Amino acid sequence: MSTVDANQASGAPVPHSHAVDHGHGGEHAKHPFLAHHFETPAQQFDSSKLGMWLFLATEVLFFGGLFVAYAVLRNRFPEVFSYASHYLSTTMGGINTCVLIVSSLTMASAVYFAQRSRKRAMLVCLWLTMAGAAAFMVIKYFEYTHKIHEHLVWGSTFYVPPDHEIAVIEGSHEIAAPAAVAQGGASSHATAATSHAASTSTDSVGEVLAPAAMLAAGGSPSFVGAPLTELSAVKPASRGPLGVALSGSTDAAPHGSETIAEGHPSAHLEDATMPANVHLFFAVYYAMTGLHGVHVLVGMVVIGMLIYRGMRGDFNSNFYTPVDLVGLYWHIVDLIWIFLFPLFYLIH
Amino acid sequence: MTTLEAHKPETLDIHASSDNYLTHSKGFISWACTLDHKRIGVMYLVGVLGAFFVGGIFAILVRTELLAPGPTIVGPFAKWMGMDPADVYNQWFTLHGAIMVFLVIIPSIPAALGNFILPVMLGAKDVAFPKLNLFSFYLWVIGALMAVLSLLMGGFDTGWTFYTPYSTTSPAGGVIPIVAGAFILGFSSIFTGMNFIVTIHKLRPPGMTWFKMPLFLWAIYSTAIIQVLATPVLAITLLLLIIERTVNIGIFNPSMGGDPVLYQHFFWFYSHPAVYIMIVPAMGIVSELISVHSHRHIFGYRFIAFSSVAIAMFSFIVWGHHMFTSGQSALMNTIFSAISFSVGIPSAVKVFNWTITLYKGNISLNTPMLYGLAFLFLFTIGGLTGLHLATLSVDVHLHDTYFVVAHFHYVMMGSALIAMIGGLHHWWPKITGRMYNENWGRFAWVLVFVGFNVTFFTQFMLGSQGMPRRYYDYLPEFQTYHVISTVGSYIMSVGFFITAGYLLASLVNGKRAPANPWGGRSLEWQCPSPPPHDNFKTPPRVGDCYDFSIVRWSDEENGYVVDRSLDPSLRENPTPAKGH
Amino acid sequence: MSHEPHSPPPIEAAAGGHAHAAVHPAGDQPLVGHLVPMTTLVVTACALLVLTCITVAVRYMDIGEFNIYIALGIAVIKASLVALFFMHLRWDRPFNMIVFFGCVLFVVLMMGFCLMDTSQYRHEQINGNPPLVAETLLQNAPNAPVGRFDQ
């Protein structure tokens, strides 16, 4: 989208034979970048800028929807957010924040040098911005792969142990018992850990489970609601990165995020104090940071195009609109991350 | 306007020349790659009318099915597609709704007519971003192709609103393509809106101040604000829906702790303003129709202009009235109900002003005017029944009945589409350079108007008696109403086919249109029909676009001309203004 | 909107009371737009980095509810710095500022209404899972925290 916008704004000379028919041939002859339907470069520049700001407004509302989802879910499950936040690496998030801020500075500097027709300096700044974007994505890649390895993912996979033949852990069996007993005779199925979808279980159970399966999307397992009474008796204040204790790590670092990250896959499933619906935190986390990451990638493409055009010598103090507009885009990407960082990584 | 030019004959550059936007360049490529807003508008028009035809077919299928209780015509389709009859019916009304909303009504006035008329009316050479304009047209095409793709992949039966959890669990194969299609159409709409806002802000020629703009431009401007501010929320909602359906993230899934009501909040945060994306530009057209065809200065110009902006703003804070029975909290129900009533104020301001404009006007009952008057009538009914539905207690009774169906058809079709057709007739001579047959036009209008009311007024009664929407089967006592309604829809279809017939015929053997066939005063009537490639050979002179006192009939032009010598302020001995 | 000039202004494009680019047909001065000194940019970036450090530090202080408000407050300050200085909004046309803050306002509006709604029915939500759903949970992920219908 922004690509198109940048192209729009580029105002490359439009090959209209009648471009001089309007009695403004003088302006158009003086400024080869001036599109035929604009009268002056200032009008063209202002239009492009307003167009870009409107586009940024749509970006803000686009992310706004996700921020609302975040707010609603956090309002509903505060314990989930304060618990799950500790699985994120503040160090990596903090480094990424700084990387983006610095790349914003280099982008603003690129505009600064473009405005002064300093081509080489502008190109250096653009390359630096590109490097910042790449660094951000590399760090993000490591964060994502690590979490996926740990099964810290969205949806039902969050609860699926990596080893499907794993026996039911004694403690959780006990916890599960009351609910299973309430089922009346269904407790024998409680150990059927390998069964993934209700539809694949035995016939009788399949029938019993039909309404539940209907609730779940596409036959996937469903996870509902609040913790057991035993679990909810644990006060939120005492909830924390319990993986520290359970996974055997003795590192009592003040912030447990890194230590948890060292745990073996699905360590979180052994945490008896994990509140229900933690997968929702990761759903929102992946949705928001993923969409943001896509915007970073788009930004890299657009900056690449700027570098290409800059090397071709398209930009000077008379015409630098595309650099300015891509700069605006890049800053909004930074700006959104400025909100994502505390909302996900810095929940006390 | 300068006095030096006051007596310069205006008629010099309104003659149609051989070089207009249609003949400027030839060949398929010259259309497919055009950056000319007029050609893009025409392409939109063709696409929108094509989609209207397809959506209409599904409407007729739905109405025919409802001729009798039980399966009427779904049976053979169900056998052929190997589905349950109810699923076939679900697919029909879903397709009808989705096509009509996303492919027809939303782009009809802003993207098709707006693209063509807005820059000409404004006195600009083009929209601000011509390439973006073309791009947004192709996005529309891709969106339409996605709708076709979803049909091929097994259709979709979620209703046009894609409510979760139904849309995430529906077994129909075409849900993801159509949702992706709506996502893409959303971006088409966003880019069009951005383009129009920037055009109106930055490309107004000297003299075209905000309050000299024709009201159609105010309406398009208000619409564009809604498009830019609301549509991104639809985009993210549909994106989340796709993710939900594919990888099951659970944000909208109640069985995973998610919140399906949140989906409805998101959806209606866009889709209620989207209702105004449909109706506000229609109001703009009607302002033009009423004023031009009664040859009278629009009454309360600023009130109409600001009520457009007010409606745009109000539209963002009333979305909850779609969710009164969806588990929304009592507090929000009350708030949304109260705010919904207030939308009636700017709407009524407009209706009153149009009515007063008619008063003592010199009304010509041309086809466009007939559609304008139909709008006044139908919009009043549609708007007032909206107040019934905004009333909490009444809505609980009427929700999801045919009363709602009738209400939004009065607004969406009876108002938005009727105004669009009126605008199409109004600007048809400008777009094509040909006049259509006025008698056929009036005849078809009678069929459409009568057919529409027969179809949908009965549905108010059906709904108030409890006939729920979205069912192919019903109790026998509803049959009389359903039969009347179906007959009405047939009458209306005949009217539309006649309309299509004489409009197409006019392309072949229509009279050449003068520059100003109706006596309009705004700038688009001061350039030839069809307009030249660059709209105005000389920068147009901007005046009061509703001052018809200096518009006179000219026999040699066979149309109206703007004769500035009639302007009393420009002469020493003012002559009485001749209204025509 | 209405305070905007009716016709495109002459070469000095950017509104606002700050120094404007002079008209130079070529050379090192821009034809349009606003020049921001490099020191301003560097100072802004430094302020952003310092604020980042502060917001990380605040995370480790236990001040209850206020953590999120402080974090969001700092984020708003940082965002404003980016918008005003990096994005030249301070010297840009006022309407661009209206566009930007207008859209933020609409996000806040949507969030406010949605939160008002969901917090209204929060206490009415069923606490726990219906038996069949709980059973599904036990089937598929025995380690997951399973709720039970305990109305």
Query: What digits encode the pLDDT tens for the residues B104-121?
Result: 999 999 999 999 999 999
Of A105, A180, A213, the CB nearest to C138: A180
Q: Which residue has the higher pLDDT, B241 or A158?
A: B241
Distance CA C34, CA A108 (A): 12
Contact (CB, 8 A) for B113 and B424: yes
Q: What subunits touch chain B, counting only 3 or more CB pairs under 8 A?
A: A, C
Spatial neighbors of B413 by CB under 8 A, at least 6 apart, are B100, B452, B456
End position of a domain, from candidates C75, C92, C109: C92
Q: Which residue shows structure tokens 């025919």?
A: B64
Measure Cα distances from B58 to B100, B103, B157, B316, B336 in Å.
Answer: 10, 14, 13, 31, 33
pLDDT of residue B414: 94
Written as one letter, the residue type at B10 is E
Q: Sorting pLDDT into bands at 50, 70 and 90, what band is A144?
A: very high
pLDDT, one tens digit for every residue, chain C (151 residues): 334 334 433 333 333 333 334 344 444 567 788 888 999 999 999 999 999 999 998 888 877 778 888 999 999 999 999 999 999 999 999 999 999 999 999 999 999 999 999 888 776 665 555 555 566 666 666 655 555 444 3
Residue B434 has pLDDT above 70, yes or no: yes
For residue A216, what is the nearest residue in chain B, using CA coordinates?
Answer: B255
**Cα-Cα end-to-end distance for chain C:** 56
Q: Sign of the C-alpha dihedral, residues B473, B478, B480, B484? A: negative
Distance CA B77, CA B86 (A): 11
Within-domain flag for C124: yes
Domains with residue ranges and CATH for chain B: 3-570 (1.20.210.10)
Whether residue C29 is found in the same domain as residue C102: no
CB pairs under 8 A between B and C: 52
Note the pLDDT tens digit of each residue in A164-197.
434 333 333 333 333 333 333 333 333 333 333 3
Whether residue C52 is found in the same domain as residue C119: no
Contact (CB, 8 A) for B335 and C112: no
SS3 for B553?
strand
Written as one letter, the residue type at B17 is S
pLDDT of residue B179: 94
Whether residue C103 is found in the same domain as residue C71: no
Q: Sorting pLDDT into bands at 50, 70 and 90, what band is B172?
A: confident
> Which DSSP helix (H) or strand (E) runs through A98?
helix A90-115
Interchain CB distance below 8 Å, C30 and A318: yes
Interface with chain B: mutation pick from C117, C123, C129, highest number of B CBs within 10 Å: C117
Whether residue C79 is found in the same domain as residue C23: yes
Length of chain A in terms of residues written: 348
Of A291, A258, A224, A255, whose CA–CA distance to A150 is shortest? A258
Mean pLDDT of B78-103: 91
Interface with chain C: mutation pick from A98, A117, A159, highest number of C CBs within 10 Å: A159
Of B274, B280, B272, B381, whose CA–CA distance to B324 is shortest? B272
Residue A88 has pLDDT above 50, yes or no: yes
Radius of gyration of chain C (CA): 26
* Angstroms from C2 CA to nearest CA on chain A: 16
Domain that holds residue C124: 94-151
Record the tokens describing residue B33, joined without a space. 């790659």
Residue A258 has pLDDT above 90, yes or no: no
End position of a domain, from candidates C92, C114, C143: C92
SS3 for C133?
helix
Mean pLDDT of B553-572: 78
Burial of B396 (0-12, 13-18, 19+ CB in 10 A): exposed
Q: What are the beta bridge partners of residue B554?
A: B559
Mean pLDDT of B254-275: 89
In chain C, what residues touch B269 (CB-CB under 8 Å)?
Answer: 110
Radius of gyration of chain B (CA): 24
pLDDT of residue B569: 67
Whether residue C84 is found in the same domain as residue C13: yes
Q: Which residue shows structure tokens 């392409």?
A: B43
Measure Cα distances from B451 to A118, B416, B456, B479 in Å.
Answer: 69, 16, 9, 18
Distance CA C118, CA A280 (A): 16
Spatial neighbors of B376 by CB under 8 A, at least 6 apart, are B286, B290, B351, B354, B355
pLDDT of residue B282: 96
* Count of domains observed in chain C: 2
Note the pLDDT tens digit of each residue in B488-498.
999 999 999 99
Whether residue C79 is found in the same domain as residue C123: no
Whether residue C12 is found in the same domain as residue C80: yes
Q: Sorting pLDDT into bands at 50, 70 and 90, what band is B440?
A: very high
Record the tokens describing residue B521, joined without a space. 């005063």
Burial C93-121 (b: 16+ CB within 10 A, else e): bebbbebbeebbebbeebbebbbebbeeb
Q: Which residue has the higher pLDDT, A48 or A198?
A: A48
Burial of C29 (0-12, 13-18, 19+ CB in 10 A): middle
Q: What subunits touch chain A, counting only 3 or more CB pairs under 8 A?
A: B, C
Within-domain flag for C1: no
Distance CA A125, CA A117 (A): 13
Contact (CB, 8 A) for A29 and A51: no
Distance CA B241, CA B164 (A): 8
Contact (CB, 8 A) for B471 and B463: no
Interchain CB distance below 8 Å, B129 and A51: yes
Distance CA B386, CA B378 (A): 12
Residue B183 has pLDDT above 50, yes or no: yes
Side-chain-facing half-sphere of A211: CA atoms under 13 Å:
8
Whether residue C49 is found in the same domain as residue C119: no
**Cα-Cα end-to-end distance for chain A:** 37
Within-domain flag for C18: yes
Percentage of residues in chain B having pLDDT higher than 90: 74
Spatial neighbors of C69 by CB under 8 A, at least 6 apart, are none
Mean pLDDT of A72-91: 89
Interchain CB distance below 8 Å, B265 and A64: no
Enumerate long-range contacts of A18-22, CB under 8 Å, 24 or more apart. Answer: A18/B533, A18/B534, A21/B534, A21/B537, A22/B125, A22/B534, A22/B539
Whether residue C23 is found in the same domain as residue C76: yes
Within-domain flag for C123: yes
Of A193, A228, A327, the CB nearest to C146: A228
Of A4, A155, A283, the CB nearest to B135: A4
Could you list the beta-strand ranges (E) of chain A: none
Q: Sorting pLDDT into bands at 50, 70 and 90, what band is A265?
A: low
Mean pLDDT of A244-266: 40
SS3 for B472?
coil
Contact (CB, 8 A) for A99 and A135: yes
Whether residue C106 is found in the same domain as residue C151: yes
> Residue A302 CB: number of other CB atoms within 10 A?
20
Distance CA B228, CA A194 (A): 48
Note the pLDDT tens digit of each residue in B345-401.
999 999 999 999 999 999 999 999 999 999 999 999 999 999 999 999 999 999 999
Lowest-pLDDT range, A123-132, A210-219, A313-322? Answer: A210-219
Q: What are phi and psi of B70, to 5 degrees?
A: 75, 175
In chain C, what residues touch B229 (CB-CB under 8 Å)?
Answer: 102-103, 106
Measure Cα distances from A37 to A193, B117, B199, B533, B552 in Å.
Answer: 68, 16, 11, 12, 32
Of A50, A104, A191, the CB nearest to C95: A50
Interchain CB distance below 8 Å, B254 and A224: yes
Distance CA B273, CA B193 (A): 13
Q: Which residue has the higher pLDDT, B529 or A69?
A: A69
pLDDT of residue B381: 95
Whether residue C147 is found in the same domain as residue C113: yes
Whether residue C73 is found in the same domain as residue C103: no
Written as one letter, the residue type at A293 is G
Contact (CB, 8 A) for A205 and A189: yes
Residue A9 has pLDDT above 50, yes or no: no
Interchain CB distance below 8 Å, B259 and A73: yes
Contact (CB, 8 A) for A10 and A322: yes
Q: What is the mean pLDDT of chain A?
A: 71
Mean pLDDT of B119-128: 92
Q: Sorting pLDDT into bands at 50, 70 and 90, what band is A145?
A: very high
Measure Cα distances from A235 to A238, A256, A273, A275 in Å.
Answer: 6, 18, 9, 10
Within-domain flag for C2: no
Contact (CB, 8 A) for C31 and C23: yes
What is the DSSP secondary-structure string of B50-108? HHHHHHHHHHHHHHHHTTSSS-SSHHHHHHHHTS-HHHHHHHHHHHHHHIIIIIIIHHI
* Angstroms from C17 CA to nearest CA on chain A: 17
Interchain CB distance below 8 Å, C82 and A40: no
Written as one letter, the residue type at B331 is L
Within-domain flag for C27: yes
Residue B199 has pLDDT above 80, yes or no: yes
Contact (CB, 8 A) for A66 and A287: yes
Q: What is the mean pLDDT of chain B?
A: 90
For residue C123, what is the nearest residue in chain B, using CA coordinates?
Answer: B329
> Residue B20 CB: number of other CB atoms within 10 A?
17
Mean pLDDT of B85-98: 92
Side-chain-facing half-sphere of A104: CA atoms under 13 Å:
35
End position of a domain, from candidates C92, C113, C139: C92
